[in-house]
Structure formats: structure tokens, C-alpha cells
Amino acid sequence: MKTLLSFRGIALSALTAFLFLAASTASEACSACYGDTSGSKMSNAASVGISAMVVIMFIMLGAVAAFGRHLAYRAKHPLPDYNELLKEDEKPPDPGASS
């Protein structure tokens, strides 16, 4: 019977736990997230950076939503077939003729 955790699994779990504990102090929130309004350059820069990321995120989400809406519109209103367009002209195009 195969063991539940092999040596590789235990080593990977130990490495993950070590990295999580080592990085926990460096991954604290910035002063802008805590509401520091002291007016320092660092907090102003963090506020502008966060605002820029939020604006960019909403622009990208809006673009994805607009593309989805465009696809839904095209699905409900497909273009006519090529043969139907030819019927309107009554004559197929001459492939050898130049315009």
C-alpha cells in the first residue's frame, strides 16, 4: 500500500510552511491600507498607485464586458449568408477582373 505522504510531499509541505512564515512579516499592508493620512510622500504615492490599479482594473473589466456584449449582439443578429448577398447583386463577381 502506498503511503499517504512520501518524502517529497513532506519536504514540499515543510518548504511551503517555511516560506509562509518567512514572508509573513514582509507581506503586511501598506500605510494607505491602514488609513494613514499623515500626508507623507510614501502614503500619497501608495494612494495614487492603488487608485491607478483600481481604475485600470475597471477599464479592463469594462472592455471584457463590452466584448461579451458585442458577441451576444452578433449571436442574435448574424450577418446574411454570402449567397444571399450575391442574390442582391444578381451576378457573381468575376475572379479574373481587376477593379
Per-residue confidence in pLDDT tens, the chain, 99 aa: 456 667 888 888 899 988 888 776 666 666 556 665 667 787 778 778 889 999 999 999 999 999 999 999 999 988 777 777 667 666 656 676 665
75-85 b/e with 16+ CB inside 10 Å = b? eeeeeeeeeee
User: Structural domain boundaries of the chain?
Assistant: 30-89
Whether the predicted model's global pTM rises above the 0.85 cut: no
What span, in angstroms and rounded, lies between the C-alpha atoms of 44 and 8?
A: 46
9-48 b/e with 16+ CB inside 10 Å = b? eeeeeeeeeeeeeeeeeeeeeeebeeeeeeeeeebeebbe
